[in-house]
Each structure stands twice: as C-alpha cells, then as structure tokens.
Amino acid sequence: MNAKSADSILEEATAWWSTAIIDIHPGEIGVRGYPIQELIGTLTFAQMIWLMLRGELPTAPQATLFESALVAAVDHGPQAPSIAISRMAVTCGLSVNGAMASAINVLDDVHGGAGQQCMDLLHRIGAQSKNGPVDPDVVEDALDNFIVAHGKVIPGYGHRFHPVDPRAIKLLALVRAAQDDGVVSGLYARIGVLIEKSLARRTGKGVPMNIDGATAVIYSVLGFSSLLGRGLFILSRSVGILAHAIEQTEQGGRIKGPMPTSIPYQYTGPPARHLAVACEK
Amino acid sequence: MNAKSADSILEEATAWWSTAIIDIHPGEIGVRGYPIQELIGTLTFAQMIWLMLRGELPTAPQATLFESALVAAVDHGPQAPSIAISRMAVTCGLSVNGAMASAINVLDDVHGGAGQQCMDLLHRIGAQSKNGPVDPDVVEDALDNFIVAHGKVIPGYGHRFHPVDPRAIKLLALVRAAQDDGVVSGLYARIGVLIEKSLARRTGKGVPMNIDGATAVIYSVLGFSSLLGRGLFILSRSVGILAHAIEQTEQGGRIKGPMPTSIPYQYTGPPARHLAVACEK
Amino acid sequence: MNAKSADSILEEATAWWSTAIIDIHPGEIGVRGYPIQELIGTLTFAQMIWLMLRGELPTAPQATLFESALVAAVDHGPQAPSIAISRMAVTCGLSVNGAMASAINVLDDVHGGAGQQCMDLLHRIGAQSKNGPVDPDVVEDALDNFIVAHGKVIPGYGHRFHPVDPRAIKLLALVRAAQDDGVVSGLYARIGVLIEKSLARRTGKGVPMNIDGATAVIYSVLGFSSLLGRGLFILSRSVGILAHAIEQTEQGGRIKGPMPTSIPYQYTGPPARHLAVACEK
Amino acid sequence: MNAKSADSILEEATAWWSTAIIDIHPGEIGVRGYPIQELIGTLTFAQMIWLMLRGELPTAPQATLFESALVAAVDHGPQAPSIAISRMAVTCGLSVNGAMASAINVLDDVHGGAGQQCMDLLHRIGAQSKNGPVDPDVVEDALDNFIVAHGKVIPGYGHRFHPVDPRAIKLLALVRAAQDDGVVSGLYARIGVLIEKSLARRTGKGVPMNIDGATAVIYSVLGFSSLLGRGLFILSRSVGILAHAIEQTEQGGRIKGPMPTSIPYQYTGPPARHLAVACEK
C-alpha cells in the first residue's frame, strides 16, 4: 500500500462517520456549534432536545408548547405492552438499560407509529393548502386515499379506552392559545378539526382526536418532520418505561410472566401423540 | 372452578400488575395522583421526569439544577459504541425505535454504569459523614476498598479523551451556586473534591472529576438513588442516540459496517484446511 | 363482580395466551403433541427447529437439505453491522443475551430481509406456474413489477463482495441432487435460474444467485413461508453473532467503538458559535 | 499526516477487528480454516454450531449428545416472559428479528443464567476432583460457599412447576449411555448426583436436577465453558421465541398487553390531588 492510497483510505474512514451534531476535541465539546458549557445551566432539557434534533434553538413560547407535548405522552399504564415488557424484563435480571431497550423496541409502527402516521396525513393535506384555507374536498380525498391504503382506523383519532382523551383536549387548547399569541400557524389544527368532522360524518358518531393526533398537530405546527415526531414520542414514553422499570426493581419478583400462573394458558395443538406412530406413517 | 376461587384468582391477577405511578379510567389519567391535564402545559419535561420517578414535584431551583445534568450528557459523538450502533442500525432497515433499542441496550455497566457506580461510592462515604464534616480517612478507606473490589479505575474521575472535562467544570459550578443559595447540601460535592485530591496524591497527577462524577454529585444532592441516576443518564443519552439515528436516516446508506470496506479486518485463525484432512486424523 | 362473569373473564384470560406449539403440565411437556422426552436424543436440532415451526417432522432427506441452508448462513465476518454490534456490545458490559439482542435486532428488512423478499418473488412467479413449465414472460413481468415497486436491486442476486458466492453454488448443487432423488420439486430452482438469465440479459453482465437466493430456493422447495424463511436466516446468523460475542469477551476491551480513535470522525456542522450571538438575533 | 503514520494507523484499524472465526476474500469464505462449501451439505447445523464456537469439529457421538441438549431447551410456553414478550412484540408491529431481540434480551442472569451458574458450580467442584473420585466434603463446601454468596436457590435444581423435569431425566440417561460408551467422562454427572443428594439431605425433600442442571452436565462433559453454555441455551430457546413470534403473527392482534383489559391493574399510589394544593405547600 503506497502513501497516497493510505492517506486516501484514511480520509474515507474519517468521512465514514460524519455528523453535523457534535464536534469533540480534547477539552472541548461543541453541540451544533455551541460550546457545551454555555448550554449547561442555560437550556432546559426540552430546549436541548430541540437543539440536538433541529440544529437551532426554539423561541421561548415554542419551547413551552413543545414541553407540553413531551409531558403528555410519558405513560399509559402497565397494560401497555411496552410498559409490561419493561417490568417483566427487570425480573429476568436486566439492568434498566436492558429493560428500556426491550421495551422501546416494541414502540414500532403499531404501538408507536400513530403520531408519525397522523403527521404524514396532516402534512399531505397541508401541502395542498399552503397560504390559504383548507379545502374540505382535499381532506375528504386524503381520508379516502388513506383508508384505501391503510384501512379505516385513522391514526390520531379515537381511543379504545378513553371516550374523550383528556390529554388531547388540553394540548389542543394550548395550540389555540399559541396560535392566538401568534407563536404558531393555525393550519394543522384546522386540518385536525376538519378530519374530526369528516370522521363524525363518516361514522355517525364522535371519533375525537386522541393524544397521538394532538401531539401530531403540535409537532407539525412547530416544524418537526413526522420522523422526528415519532422520535419525540419515544423519548417521552421512555420516561414511563424507566419509571416502571425502577418500580418493578423495587417491588422485586423473579421471572414475572404476563399473568399469575394460577391462570392457565390454552393449548390448541394436536392431542398427545408418539414418535413411533409418526415414523410408521 | 367455583365462584369463590374465580374471584380470588382475578384479585391475584389484578394485583399482578400493581403500580403507584399512574391511574387510568375512561376519560381520566392520574399521574402520581395529579390529573394529567393539570400537568400538561404547567410542568416542564424535566419536572415531569422528576414527578414520574420520585412521586413528588421538585422545587423550581431543584428543577433548574436537575435540567443542567440532563442537558450535559446527551451525546459524545459517533465513536461511542452506543451512537455508532444507532447509526448502523437504521442503515439495516430499523425504525428509530429499533435503532434506539439496540443502542440504549449497550449503555450497560461499562458504557453506562460509571455514574451509578460513582453515586454508590459517594453514598457509602456520605453515610459515614452524616451531619458533619467528611473524615479524610473515611474517603481513603472507601477508595482502598473500591480499588480492591473493582480495580484502580475510579468511576467519575479521569477521561481517556478530555484532560479536563468542560461539562464537569460547569456542572460543579452550578452545584456550588445552588449550595450557596441553600438549595442543596454541600456534602456530596465535598466528598467529590476529597476523592479528587486523594486520587491526585495516589497517582501523582491530576485525575479530575468527569461528567459522570459531576452528574453523580448533582443527582446525589437532589436525593436520587444511584439506580435512578443510571436511568437519568440513559434518558439523557437517548437524545443523542435519537439525533444520530435521524441524521443517519437522512444521510442514507445501506448495511453500514463499522469501517469502510477498504480497510480489511484481520484473520487470526487456522490456515486453510480441508475436511478430509480433519476426518483422517 | 358476580360468579358468572368472573368465570368468563378467566376464560378470556386463558384464551389470551393460546398456542398450538407446546402443552405443559406438571411433569409433562408436549411439543406439537409429542412428549419432549421422546424428542430428546431422537431428533437432531434441525429436525426440532422444523417441528417447532411447521408442526410436523421432516423426512430424513428433507432434513438433510434443510441443514445445509442453516449451515451456510451462520456468519459473514466482523464488518457486517450485526456482527460488529455484537462485539461492541460485550465491551460495553452486556452479557451474551444482550449482545445477541442488540445484534439480531438489526437483521431487519435491509440487513436480514433479502431472503424473505426473494422468497416472495419466487412464490409470486411460482403461483402462476403451478403444475407446469415456468413461462419466461411471467418471470419478466414479475421482475418488471418488482423493479417498479422496489428498485433495481433484486434480492438474492449479486453480491457486493463476492463475484460468485461459493455458498450459493454448493447449495444449488444440493437442491439439484435432492430434485434428482425425488425429494423436492424443481419448480423454484427453475424460477431461480430464469431470474438469473433475465438479469444477465437486463444488465449485460452476470448477476449470479447469492446465498439469500439459494436459501430462498431451498426453504421454498421445502415448503416454508417467506416469513419462516426470514426467521430461519436469523436463527442461522445467531450462531455467528454468538461466536463473535464470545470471542470478543475473551479478547477483552472496554467500550470498543467502530474504529480506533486514531482515526477521527468528520464534523460537518456549523462553526463554533455562542449563545449570546444566537440570542441577539 | 506522513506516509509512515498513515500506514501504521491503517494497520491498527485492521487489527481493531480481529477474528479467528472467519476469513473472507472475494469468492472465498473460510470458517475456522475450512472452505464453507466443504461444510455445507456435510455438517449438521449442530456440528456447525460446535465448529463456530469451539474451532474444531465434534466426533459423531459428541455431536449426538450435543444435539440432545439443544433439542431439550427450545421452549417452555407462553407464560415464560421471553416467549410472552416475543408474542406481544409482533402485535406492536415488529418483524421477527425485532421480536426475537426484545425477547432474547431478557434471557439474562435470572431468566437465562441458571445453566451458566450451575456449570460454574460443577466446574469449581470438578477442579478439585481431577483424575479421581469426588470428595463429598468438597461438594458440601462448594454448596455452603454458593449459598452464602448467592442464596439458597441452587441453579439447575428444583422447578417451580415440574415436580420432576422430564427433560432432565432423559438427558441424564443419555449422558450415562455416552459415559458407558466411553464418549465422555463421568465426572460432572457424578458431581451432579452428589449435589442432588446433598440438597435432599439439606432440605428434607427431593430437589431433583432440572433441565438447566442436566444441560449443564452435558455441556460440561463435552468441554464447553460456562459462558458458551449460556450462549447455547440462548440459541436453543431462540427456536421457541421464533416459533411463538410466527404463531402470533398468524393469529394477528394489535398491541397485545399482558392480560385482557377486562382484568384491571391495581393502582397503589396517592389518591387524586391537584397541583394548586401542591404549590400552596
């Protein structure tokens, strides 16, 4: 290997790991260009999350609205699979990092993707409503297309447990207040309401916006991509996953299954048989 | 199964999943007793994290100090295995939840346990210094015992990359300020300094406190257990893990290995051989 | 809650976990109906895998062909992200279960889905060729449709490293031998060859079947669904993931990053800046 | 950077990923020195696992005993947390790789470490019994020490569900047969029986060897380290984890929690309260 090629291979190796997020030198850490010591003690955790994900800082009122969405989604109790998995994991011997990993992993398309999917829907409608009122026909078409592609469950609307989601009501009131203060545009909240109205007509009953819909509106008016919206949900729910891992650690227990063993599971397979019989066949 | 036993089995099943964190009923969500709609728009994300983990709310100055520690630890660049794994994972097809899971999982004892281990050391010394000055001999004994049990690397001190960790300096200044304001006790910061002095004497060179030590002091003065301290580090670092997963998703790439393939790996096994030879033996 | 409803709730709970795979009673374990003690010492591990996944036992020649595919895919070296992650993970403190989890997780659509995708393509063509010769036009149409939907990389064909994949050649020879012996149908091997020929015409160069294609043919002729094919690849590659985790554990190392730190990473973000400047804006 | 240092940095980078397992060149794959095409179609999957983990091939009777242990541990039903997690995960949207990752992750010290811990105990006693009979006092001392260090549950003995574990009985019979055939030494089986006898004396009731104990004996007589024994258990149980993930995928279901929601969970936290009250304090 000659000198030239060694240098160029090293250049390629350096470029292999390339990032605009953080710059580190001995004694110096720059985050998005800012020396870390200027950020510590100055930014809230939520502002730091925003800076890391967006590259720039939020204004104070943006940060306030952002915090409200992060606060809203931290937990939904031990019957959610993610939380149950976190608790079962620590009884198998895992540290909190392992319990969080097994649990966060299941925040996938079905258990953790509703917010992202709702944002995609809002953005698709919003892209056809730039700088003007939202055309109800655009909403209808978007819903029709969504239902053809993904089925009739519209992400961000309805809840199998809560007839009305108390988190959504409060979040939407905060969006309206921010809108009245000129902090954010009203576009996505308006689209959200039009979808709600259309669903009421389509189903003949109320299918109110839930927390995934309300946070989708907030993350959208704050300029986040739907992919970031999904990441923010995971950060938020990680708090609950951690809290339950810690609580279960304190409760103790070993190899905790999903139900007490006094409740049997159901076997639906073939009746007892023997290899000899199988081999004779 | 008679009626009585069915009821008692159900009671056991209800108790199987038992939590003091969250109470959910149709249309109602209570977190540590507070209706969720009162928390949304009122608490910062950091205050919500505290409430979820501790059960009660921090005071405002406690929350400020708490935020500084959460802000400080979000990232340490793509050469950290956790960050590299997050980036490699998305190029394998994983969504952000999966990338975060594979990455958070490796924040184990070695890559994510230094803060917890440092807190354990601080608390062990602190337990012998209640309501009084810290006896230097207690520090020496604790260090001696630690080194016998775990080796000479003291968690929370020294850094293989930073001669002085800029995060630690700022965090410790914030602790001193909070102490001057009467917000927190000075106990753990004093212990931290005594350890630093002892290590300087023992090694003949400066082994200054790093971010793990500084956040260990902060979480300790704020009353967190060492287990919670570990969890808080994971929450904080999750922000960097997410930011890098998103950046890599935007960069694209397929099945990204650890280095460009222009750099070969080293094979150290047996030379080429054939099964026939093996069978003859 | 009255007696009746308690019983019916318990019935629902029993049905909640329902399986045809395994039936357990004190002192008795039945797998797919067979007492476990009849299987232990009688079945090979590969036969047990087949029984667990399919519900019935393979014939001896089916099992032999099945073993060959499982053997072929166990490892592809430390520059594969899954293997690198396994090795990095143990240096962060994880046990082998944790290292395997972080690594297996990344065997997702891109890094672990080629076999499944190839099987889907084979089955789509095969469904139009039942009981007769394969119409080359059906192959062309299927490839055209695949390319429109997924791009021009055909899963199971070509390899970025191996001009010819030695595993594929051997596996396809074994399929042909099994076909000559009347063990399996020749349908999917024929389709595989027709795809290879079409790709040669389309690209003007050889794009030979790789291991994903060859195992896709084998799992298909043995009657596995594409989803099971994916699972079998994971089981096979898990062997390599484990072997590398163990080897790295023996080598030692702490917090092993993707490259030695003598090779820096590249920072592409904004130049150093200060919060004061940001606030003035 | 001059030519010399570039070359030496590259050398360091090549050595960074160093393995004796697999050697890959274009068109060539060597596993432990053997060309992969010689192994495919020749080795069983179990023999390949042995070669990957040990570096050399087993004899035929060793391989047979080895298969029996791999077959025995594949599954223990949906009430095991690992299996339940696998099933819950797919209903959250995860592919089989993700479901397997979340599930395998929890095969940690408590849920997956008994075999390794039992092997450590067997090896500790065995190291004091080289080339001779096992001194019962050595067994007693080892048990005393183990109980002081880890508590009175001896890994590999007793089962909370099975009074007698049908897998262990069969596996131990196979060990005895292999011993009679001169395939393996009788050392670890003898130690296993002495522990069983001692536990019967200590507890006043039978605490028979379970599957973890029986596989610990087999992996020990076959020369595996306890770390490898743990890895082998994970490989074996991965089969059940995969089978249940596939079955749940076929059953369908969305966001499957641990129990039907008709069974509530128990809230044990503070009664409902309001922020105003908290702030007044």
pLDDT tens digits for range D74-99: 999 999 999 999 999 999 999 999 99
| Band (B4; pLDDT cuts 50, 70, 90) | low
Best of C17, C28, C43, C52 to disrupt the A interface by mutation (most A CBs within 10 Å)?
C17
- Nearest neighbour of D271 by CB, restricted to B13, B33, B266: B33
The nearest alpha carbon in chain C to D48 belongs to C71
Which tokens hold the place of A45? Answer: 């955790």
| Whether pLDDT at D14 is above 90 | yes
How many other β-carbons are positioned within 10 Å of the β-carbon of residue D130? 7
The predicted pLDDT at position D32 comes to 98
Beta carbons of D48 and C70 less than 8 Å apart: yes
Q: What does the alpha-carbon distance between residue A244 and residue A193 come to, in Å, rounded to a whole number?
A: 34
Mean pLDDT of C141-147: 96
pLDDT given for residue A159 in this prediction: 85
Residue C1: is its pLDDT beyond 50?
A: no
Main-chain phi, psi angles of A193, to 5 degrees: -70, -40
The yes-or-no verdict on residue C279 having pLDDT over 60 is no
Percentage of residues of chain D with pLDDT beyond 70: 96
How far does B129 lie from chain D, in Å, by closest CA? 29
Are C44 and D44 within 8 A, CB to CB?
Answer: yes
What does the pLDDT average to over A260-275? 95
Residues 73-102 of C with CB under 8 A from B: 77-82, 84-85, 88-89, 91-94, 98, 101-102
Q: What is the mean pLDDT of residues B221-237?
A: 98
Summarize pLDDT for A180-216 with one digit per residue, the tens.
Answer: 999 999 999 999 999 999 999 999 988 999 999 999 9
- pLDDT > 70: percent of chain A: 96
Residue C253 predicted with pLDDT over 50: yes
> Is the Cβ–Cβ distance between D215 and D69 less than 8 Å?
yes
Are the CB atoms for A232 and A224 separated by under 8 Å?
A: yes
The answer to whether C125 touches C142, Cβ cutoff 8 Å, is yes
How far, in Å, CA of A155 to CA of A262, rounded?
A: 37
pLDDT at D37: 97
Mean pLDDT computed over D169-187: 97
- List chain A residues with CB under 8 Å of B162: 26-27, 29
Token pair for residue D239? 């089969």
pLDDT surpasses 60 at A15: yes
Query: Which of D13, D263, D270 faces B14 most closely, judged by CB atoms?
Result: D263
In this predicted model, what pLDDT tens digit does every residue of B65-122 receive, in sequence order? 999 999 999 999 999 999 999 999 999 999 999 999 999 999 999 999 999 999 999 9
Selection from A164, A115, A240, D267 nearest residue B30 by Cα: D267
DSSP H or E segment with residue C23:
strand C22-25
DSSP letters, chain D, are --HHHHHHHHHHHHHHSEESSEEEETTEEEETTEEHHHHTTTS-HHHHHHHHHHSSPPPHHHHHHHHHHHHHTS---TTSHHHHHHHHHHHTT--HHHHHHHHHHT-SHHHH-HHHHHHHHHHHHHHTSTTSPPPHHHHHHHHHHHHHHH-S--TTB--SS-SS-HHHHHHHHHHHHHHHTTSS-SHHHHHHHHHHHHHHHHHSS---B-HHHHHHHHHHHTT--HHHHHHHHHHHHHHHHHHHHHHHHHH--SS--SS-TTS--EE-SPPP--HHHHHH-
* Other Cβ atoms closer than 10 A to A207: 18
Nearest CB to A255; choose among D81, D101, D256? D81
Give percent of chain B above pLDDT 90: 91
Q: B265 — contact with chain C (CB < 8 Å)?
A: yes
Phi-psi region of A75 (alpha: psi -120 to 50; beta: other; left: phi over 0): beta
Give the three-class secondary structure for B239: helix
Instruction: Give the length of chain C.
Output: 281
What is the Cα–Cα distance from D224 to D53, expressed in whole angstroms?
9
Mean pLDDT calculated for residue range D151-165: 91
Distance, CA of C70 to CA of C234 (rounded, Å):
10
Contact B67 A79 (CB under 8 A): no
DSSP bridge partners of A266: C18
Is the CB of B274 inside 8 Å of chain D's CB atoms?
yes
Cα distances from C212 to residues B265, C168, C199, C219, D237, in angstroms, run 23, 8, 16, 10, 24
Please give the pLDDT value at position B91. Answer: 98
Give, to the nearest 10 degrees, the angle between helix C81-91 and helix B81-91.
160
CB burial of residue B163 (10 Å; 0-12, 13-18, 19+): exposed
What count of residues does chain B have?
281
Question: Coil, strand or helix: which one is A154?
Answer: coil
- Dmax (CA) for chain D in angstroms is 81
> Best residue in D105, D116, D212, D251 to probe A by mutation, most A CBs within 10 Å?
D105
Q: How far apart are CA A4 and CA A91, in angstroms?
A: 56
Nearest CA in chain D to A91: D110
Say if residues C20 and A267 touch (Cβ distance below 8 Å): yes
Q: Is the pLDDT of residue C277 over 80?
A: no
C104–B contact, CB cutoff 8 A: no
Work out the mean pLDDT of chain A and round it to a whole number: 94
Please tell me which of the candidates C91, C101, C113 has its beta carbon nearest to residue B105.
C101
What is the distance between the alpha carbons of residues A155 and A138, in angstroms, rounded to a whole number? 18
Q: What is the average per-residue pLDDT within A61-84? A: 97
pLDDT at residue B227 tops 90: yes
Q: Which of B200, B149, B175 minimizes the C-alpha distance to A41?
A: B175
* AA identity, residue D28: E
D112 and A93 in contact by Cβ < 8 A? yes
